[in-house]
Amino acid sequence: MKLSARSKAYMIPEYSLTGDLLSFLTCNLQYRYQNKGTLPPSMPIQLWFGEFIHGIMEESYIKWKNGKTEFPWDWKTQIRPIEDMIDLRLQVRGLYPPPKQFYSTVNEENVELTDDHELIASARAIASINIWGPYLFPLIDSAEVLIKGIRDMPDYDESKSRSNYYGINGVIDVLSSINIQETQEKSKSDNEIINYLKENKKFQETIFNLDDEEYEIIIDYKGMKRPGLDSPNWLHHQWQILTYSWLRSKQEDSKKIIAGIIFYLNELVPSIPDLKAIQKDIFKNNTDVLPEDKDLIAIEEWDESKKVPELSDKFKMNRSIRIINIDENKIKTSLKEFDDVVKNIEKSLIRETDGCKIKEAWKADAEERTCLACDFKTFCNNKHNQSKEFRIP
Ligand code: SF4
């Protein structure tokens, strides 16, 4: 009797929009070491805070939905238990809070919290919940919606490619037009998010020309400052929202998606490096949100040796919210861009499997700020690292 050989396992590579595609765009080589090599960064400030603030917003929404607790929430009694839960959840995954960013009590017992324990990550959690929560939470229809899709593998080659398809996924919050209309009718005070949408001409034009009354808006949070207009992140975040809208439109219960909103939560409590970068963007006219009056003076007069000045809530909110209108042609462009990213990841993987050295198979190219915080700068040949001399003590 002839025994047939077991056929090769059929595997479709799965890519997360933020964890893979945006990471690869940040730096190909860093992505290879961190994601493909599963080497967690030693000081994962950006990664840790991104995950932390996402978790905070999701859990706060659930808490609000179940109790409709009035805002503002108190840090020690209402927000801190959520922070502890998210901190523990991240530590289980090997993500430890960076020192001086967050006071962790996971391994301590009976700690009496004081105001000194409220470090920058907590300050941002408080601001995100208390500034955006009252407007955002009543509009959310579904939280943490997993969106997934399948696309043809770009440049598929039967002898080399891992699969003829690739999977793409992400997680979003969804706002529905029903909640937006209800909030508009019920709310005595204006909802600031609805006001921002009303002020956005393109958004109003889309609503005016809409055949169906129902629509959706998708939401994402970023633990970073608003990118400058010339920063690759500015464009990449737009591609991300457009691709999310395509993925969401494939789900049966979805309505027409007409916009996406990104909240850049560091803008609510900027750190010194954040404010330095914001100041640079403002001086170079490299941003779409400029300060006025007192905010302008405070930013113009500030330098690194001073504390971060008090800026108005309105200015911080203006810089924190970004509305991205959805357009069919732009969706096609962003899908094509991400197809190209997958093509490049797959190419680098194949080069490495074929015996090419890691540093030759994956390109080392990133913004200076990314390189400064990168664990691999001591042996990476990128131009930002060449002038620095690393000594072994
Ligand atoms: S030092 Fe910069 S270029 Fe080199 S791997 Fe890190 S982020 Fe990439």
Q: Per-domain residue ranges for the chain?
A: 16-343, 344-386
* Residue 37 Cα to ligand 1 middle (Å): 15
Residue 116 vs residues 96, 101, 120, 123, 301: alpha-carbon distances, Å:
20, 12, 11, 11, 27
- Looking at residue 388, what is its pLDDT? 54
Best of 23, 26, 27, 360 for a ligand 1 pocket test (most atoms within 8 Å of beta carbon): 27
Q: What is the best residue among 25, 34, 362, 376 to mutate for testing ligand 1's pocket, by most ligand atoms within 8 Å of CB?
A: 376
Q: Specify the pLDDT at position 6.
A: 72
Those residues of the chain that have pLDDT short of 50 are: none
What type of residue sits at position 302?
A: W
Q: How far is the CA of 337 from the centre of ligand 1 (A)?
A: 22
Distance CA 160, CA 365 (A): 26
Q: Is any ligand 1 atom within 6 A of the Cβ of residue 175?
A: no
- Residue 46 CB–ligand 1 contact under 6 Å: no
End-to-end Cα distance, the chain: 68
Which pLDDT score is estimated for 42?
59
For ligand 1, the distance from its centroid to the CA atom of residue 31, given in whole angstroms, is 9
261 forms beta bridges with 219, 323
| pLDDT (0 to 100) of residue 392 | 53
Among 358, 363, 371, name the best residue to mutate to test ligand 1's pocket (greatest count of ligand atoms within 8 A of Cβ): 371
Provide the residue type at 229 as one letter: L
pLDDT tens digits, 83-118: 999 999 999 988 889 888 999 888 777 778 888 888
Give whole-number Cα distances, 66 to 74, 165, 218, in Å.
17, 41, 22
Query: Does residue 254's CB lie within 6 angstroms of at least one atom of ligand 1?
Result: no
3-state secondary structure 320-334: HEEEEECCHHHHHHH
d(C-alpha 296, C-alpha 293), whole Å = 5
Provide the token pair at 321. 């919210």
Q: Establish whether residue 385 lines the binding site of ligand 1, counting it when its CB lies within 6 angstroms of any ligand atom.
A: yes
DSSP state of 260: E
Strands 215-222, 256-264: pairing is: parallel
Q: Which atom of ligand 1 is nearest to the CA of 382?
A: 3
- pLDDT of 41 reads 58
pTM of the predicted model over 0.85: yes
SS3 (DSSP) at 142 = strand
Instruction: For residue 237, give the amino acid letter.
Output: H
* 3-state secondary structure at position 176: strand
Q: What is the pLDDT of residue 44?
A: 63
Helix (H, G, I), strand (E, B) or coil at 62: helix
For residue 37, the model assigns a pLDDT of: 67
Sequence-distant (≥ 6) Cβ neighbours of residue 283 within 8 angstroms:
none
Q: Mind listing the pLDDT tens digit for each residue in 15-48?
A: 999 888 999 999 999 999 887 766 555 556 777 8
* Nearest atom in ligand 1 to 370's CA: 7
